[in-house]
Amino acid sequence: MKYKLAEKLGQEHVDAKVGSEDDGMAMVIGAWRARSKALLKVGREDEAKVLMREVVQSQIKLNAINEEKKAKAEAAAIEAQKKQALAVEAEKKAEA
């Protein structure tokens, strides 16, 4: 029951317009992981394995999304630095 509630909370965070999709997915994945471990403890290995497979697949997708966002942010930062350098260079030429 607690795991379903935690999963629901994470999903609400993902779906909210002001929520962070990354944080929400991390919450959902954490709930799934905890539930999978709990299922293992009570001997429901088949269910635990299926759930853990979902955890791994979701974590891989989330990591890929995060890496893509990071690469875009780095590219934007490099582009901004180039623009700044060109502006400084143009200003120096204008002064000369």
Q: What is the pLDDT of residues 33-47, one digit of tens each?
A: 898 999 999 999 999
Query: Could you tell me which residues come within 8 angstroms of residue 23 by beta carbon, excluding any fewer than 6 positions away?
Result: 13
Domain boundaries, the chain: 2-95
Q: What is the pLDDT of residues 43-91, one digit of tens each?
A: 999 999 998 999 999 899 888 988 998 999 999 999 999 889 888 888 8
| CB of 52 closer than 8 Å to CB of 36 | yes
- Regarding pTM above 0.75, the answer is no
Token code pair at residue 41: 């403890």
